[in-house]
Structure 1
């Protein structure tokens, strides 16, 4: 192999390895200072670092077979991701969808068409504009009998569509204007706190701190069953999800890219999530299609860890085939 090509591949491998080690920065730099913020931004791209490592090792192995021994390091991103929620060995009892509908979108038709073929009990909407909310209302909210709508002409707008009552609705705002909408649902006679959330993108240190603090505080806030869902602006390798994980708020959704939606999310990152407390477990996870937004929606199935006494109302839609 040509010396220059070998040098370039060695540099690519070194950079890829450095990238795959970035999630460990939470141990190296546990504070929320500027360095931790910068490292966290680069930590999001783990699948691409794995691709770069695998490619460079494979090509280097053509002339130096010892590089094959380094190839298994490609699995590192799956080991450093924040821990997923427990997988339930029981049928799905609740289906939650998260959809960032984009502040510039006006027509919910694509979202509602997908929900007709892939039903849900709860739909959390972020970047909900008044125009989009008006079109939803004209379509009878897609058949959902309950809704909490706080639309805005700016990205903080939030909404929840539900097939069951939403009790004790409360809207909260942080110092940066990001909203989270809290309510309560009942599943088989047991109460669950449901929080729709959309922190600011962490493109500045103060926004990075606010995002991590919000998820940490939500995870710490109660010992009751809890679902946190929305555009979290955080990947499974983000310090924000590690902050939530330390207090047992774990993701049901996976690492598949959801933003940007171009190219079916092939070159994106996964930032739209459903998180649950230990009383709940996951049954399935699914990424949705293009709904006209710059995000792809996600759909997750939930179940209790142990079976409560069932009521007749509130059955879950079926999981995907």
Structure 2
């Protein structure tokens, strides 16, 4: 007689509860982290680390949207509400980024480009092709070295015969301003640091403009943070002091300002006292500086700011040219007032 052995399958516990528990525990930790980061950004004017967190606001929003989706998937409504509140706090910093609108007059249009080319960048042909793609009336080069300046002069002297060039071979703060149009007046000036900025006044189609190129120190550690803020504040004071002057011209400020529009410190230069705002067409958060050229790993540090009597009609962020920055090109025109 043969004994038959019957094996009974031992029921196994489903894995989903364990996976859910594992994922949810880490999601809660991330929500706590988001709350802390969001609250710290409210004090960004007080410390360079908190300013860095404010400059990383886009990344915090991406984290918040991801957590919102996970909370919704798990039906954790209270936690979802916490993430939503954090997103609402961050959203308020993006409201001023939309274009201010207004109609251009249709005459006196000017195109200005700015590019932080990186002082060690030897690919002059690439960054010149990029910055000249839109055939700007004026372009500003930052981190300009003597070698780069010589090559730029050789390639652009016929199309851009008017220039103010201050190269720097020992640091990263050389600057050059190149124009198709003759200067009515020009000035090289320094603010809180021994870093040259350039102001040029010129006429395009019968309309006079003031163009300023500038580049403050990066806000690394307390000293850099204080220096960058002082640079922006002193530049704002310089412009505000001239508001009621005879030379109160439509103004375009371009440069690597080492601050994003969603940091509270951006208002040191873009505010109602100076009557400057970011040149934009619609809503725009495209990075101009990258750690790695992927959207979440970039920041918008390079800007064109325009006075209230101007309207931005076009804007382009350039491509990779051997620098960690991307160029910014804007076309602006006088605002039509009814």
Q: TM-score range by the shorter chain?
A: 0.7 to 0.9
1:247-262 equivalence runs, <5 A: 247=273, 248-253=275-280, 254-260=284-290, 262=292
The secondary structure found in structure 2 opposite 1:299 is: strand
How far has the Cα of 1:150 moved from its partner?
0.8
CA contact (8 A) 2:112 2:137 kept: yes
For 1:79, the equivalent position in structure 2 comes to 92
Tell which deviates more after alignment, 103-112 or 75-84. 75-84
How far has the Cα of 1:5 moved from its partner?
2.2
Cα deviation per residue 1:74-97 (whole Å; 9 max; x = unaligned)? Answer: 465443148346234335812121
Q: Which runs of 4+ in 1 moved over 6 A?
A: none
TM (normalized to structure 1)?
A: 0.83
CA RMSD of aligned residues (A): 2.6
For 2:307, the equivalent position in structure 1 comes to 277
How far has the Cα of 1:275 moved from its partner?
0.9
Rounded to whole Å, the distance in 2 between the matches of 1:269 and 1:142 is: 35
2:28 to 10, 13, 32: 10
Cα deviation per residue 1:81-116 (whole Å; 9 max; x = unaligned)? Answer: 483462343358121211001000123211232345
For 2:112, the equivalent position in structure 1 comes to 96
Cα deviation per residue 1:281-308 (whole Å; 9 max; x = unaligned)? Answer: 222222111111111111112121127x
1:19 to 15, 34, 37: 37
1:88-167 equivalence runs, <5 A: 88-90=102-104, 91=106, 93-141=109-157, 143-153=159-169, 154-167=171-184
1:295 aligns with 2:325: yes
For 1:212, the equivalent position in structure 2 comes to 229
How far has the Cα of 1:170 moved from its partner?
1.7
For 1:203, the equivalent position in structure 2 comes to 220
How far has the Cα of 1:25 moved from its partner?
2.5
Structure 2: unaligned runs, 5 residues or longer: 1-16
The secondary structure found in structure 1 opposite 2:314 is: strand
How far has the Cα of 1:169 moved from its partner?
2.1
Rounded to whole Å, the distance in 1 between the matches of 2:305 and 2:177 is: 16
Structure 1: unaligned runs, 5 residues or longer: 308-321
Cα deviation per residue 1:209-263 (whole Å; 9 max; x = unaligned)? Answer: 2222222232233212221111111111223311123322211154311112632
Rounded to whole Å, the distance in 1 between the matches of 2:147 and 2:42 is: 43
* Residues paired across the two proteins, number: 301
Rounded to whole Å, the distance in 1 between the matches of 2:95 and 2:162 is: 33
Distance 1:119 1:18, change over 3 A: farther
The secondary structure found in structure 2 opposite 1:61 is: helix
The secondary structure found in structure 2 opposite 1:56 is: helix
Cα deviation per residue 1:142-187 (whole Å; 9 max; x = unaligned)? Answer: 8223211111112110011112123322222244332211121224
Distance 1:240 1:187, change over 3 A: farther
Rounded to whole Å, the distance in 2 between the matches of 1:82 and 1:176 is: 32
Distance 1:141 1:208, change over 3 A: farther
Distance 1:86 1:200, change over 3 A: same
